[in-house]
Structure 1
Amino acid sequence: MTKTGQCALFAASALLLGVSQAEAEIIGGVDFPQGQLSFADSVVSFVPGAAGIPSAAYLGQSNALGAPNYNGNPSCASQAACTFLSLGAGGALVLRFDDNVLTGSDDSDFDLWVFEVGPNVEDTTVDLSVDGLTWLSVGSVTGSTRGIDIDAFGFDATSAFRYVRLIDVVNEGGTGNGGSVGADIDALGAISTRPFTPPDNGVPEPSTWAMMLLGFAGLGSALRRNRRLRPI
């Protein structure tokens, strides 16, 4: 097989295996063993608090995703210039981990870290879910405490949660519309985590089929070129 064919075969194998590597990092002063992969990837739902709705500049939902990047400025001129999402008084935000799951650690260390920013850490209740339908409370983040040990609520290293719901406590941080109202979420990170493995139901997902076909198409093309180049 030519070098081109070998490269195509390697690329196809990598696509099929979907191998990813993560390196431990200290991010926002917190040690995350899985580094950048530790943070929530998707917003499932967001309902701003009716008791106090933030200005539009503070409602950029994507600002709550990925690693924390708060720049120390609690004022936002636009969503693009903002680094956090304000929940509003009583607002609710549901986030999902796409490539990893939150687990317990079988000890008393923090497993989940909520990066609530601004001058004050406003009280926020925290619920976990396996499927985004049934929710289990793990208390709240209050005062200067932003981490949660989910083992304290009966979970352990075998637990696996993909969904986290954050709800602003109405009587914390004031009410009223405009500006930054309610908890300001910069990021949500799973300290105790492992890669997410989709359930094996025997039928590949459409995205998996697409990667497989792309890999095999490249391999087939390389093999055809190899045959044409062989001396007769």
Structure 2
Amino acid sequence: MDMQKNSKNNGTTTFTSVVAAFALLVCSLSAWSIPYGNLQGFAEFPAGAVSFADAVVSYTPGSGGLTAANMDASKALGAPDYAGGGACSNAADCRFVSLGAGGSIVLQFIDNYLTGSNSSDYDLWIFEVGPDVEDTLVDVSTDGVDWESVGSVGGSTSGIDLDAFGFGVSNLFSFVRLTDVASEGGTSGASVGADIDAVGAISTIVAHVPEPNTFFLFALGLTALFLSRKHI
């Protein structure tokens, strides 16, 4: 009777230890800030790859003679991957989209929200690339219809503090609009206007909890195996 009771207690203790160890592992990993960047700069994103824009809502190229290779709006999605150079010779090798003089692009976060941070830290990061420094106006929206200006970035990789414009952690934005300032930088060329590699939400709330990936399942298995061997 006592042996059965002790066996049950040991089993319960082992299971509890596994759960606790796995929870500690998940919390430790989620606390990491993962650096993302390109040839022109880096920023840390606590939520990892989910932080970056997922969809192009609209793209309105500006004037100046953009070539087709520089007009693939999908190049602004996902994590930054610019490796240098100016105008692209073909769309397949291009790592950014050019807005053209006065052009604009609207991007959407689908699996996360952009928020403020209740601090003076940067909340939104724009990866604008290329040899020319071109100013870009930035607006944010909850619905893609009504927009709020949050200033501008002065070219290259630059951040914006949403809290400086009155937005905190309770404000959830799904859309970002970038508009090239036509009076800044060149006015003609194959990649004229701001060149956007990526847009990331440093301060973010994940909209959908992803299913456990292979790494976490593997880590859980190793933790369970280790703890079970300790009780043999």
Q: Do they fold alike, i.e. is TM over 0.5?
A: yes
Asked if residue 65 in structure 1 is aligned to residue 77 in structure 2, the reply is yes
> Of 106, 112, 122, which residue of structure 2 is paired with 1:100?
112
After TM superposition, give the deviation of residue 53 of structure 1 in Å: 3.7
Once the two structures are superposed, residues 60-114 of structure 1 have per-residue CA deviations (whole angstroms, 9 ceiling, x without a partner) of 1111100000011223111111000000000010000010000000000000000
Asked if residue 185 in structure 1 is aligned to residue 196 in structure 2, the reply is yes
After TM superposition, give the deviation of residue 143 of structure 1 in Å: 4.7
> Of 55, 58, 64, which residue of structure 2 is paired with 1:42?
55
Counterpart AA for 1:61:
A
The separation in 1 between residues aligned to 2:139 and 2:151, in whole angstroms, is: 7
Counterpart AA for 2:101:
A
Q: Pairwise mapping of residues 204-215 of structure 1 onto structure 2 (< 5 A)? A: none
After TM superposition, give the deviation of residue 121 of structure 1 in Å: 2.8
> Of 105, 109, 129, which residue of structure 2 is paired with 1:117?
129
Secondary structure of 1:68's counterpart equals coil
Aligned to 2:211: none
The separation in 1 between residues aligned to 2:87 and 2:139, in whole angstroms, is: 28
Aligned to 1:164: 176
Asked if the contact 2:128–2:155 (Cα under 8 Å) also holds between the matched residues in 1, the reply is no
Unpaired runs of 5+ residues, structure 2, are 1-28, 209-232
Aligned length: 176
Counterpart AA for 1:25:
I
Counterpart AA for 2:201:
A
After TM superposition, give the deviation of residue 175 of structure 1 in Å: 1.3
Asked if residue 137 in structure 1 is aligned to residue 149 in structure 2, the reply is yes
After TM superposition, give the deviation of residue 144 of structure 1 in Å: 5.3
Once the two structures are superposed, residues 161-207 of structure 1 have per-residue CA deviations (whole angstroms, 9 ceiling, x without a partner) of 0000000000112213x41110000000000001126xxxxxxxxxx
Aligned to 2:34: 25
* Change beyond 3 A, Cα 1:179–1:144: closer
* Change beyond 3 A, Cα 1:94–1:144: closer
Q: Which structure has more helix as a fraction of its residues? A: 2
The separation in 2 between residues aligned to 1:175 and 1:74, in whole angstroms, is: 15
Unpaired runs of 5+ residues, structure 1, are 1-20, 198-232
CA RMSD of aligned residues (A): 1.8
Secondary structure of 1:80's counterpart equals helix
Runs of 4+ in 1 over 2 A off after TM superposition: 21-24
The separation in 2 between residues aligned to 1:84 and 1:186, in whole angstroms, is: 4
Q: Percent identity?
A: 59
The separation in 2 between residues aligned to 1:24 and 1:65, in whole angstroms, is: 20
The separation in 2 between residues aligned to 1:144 and 1:183, in whole angstroms, is: 9
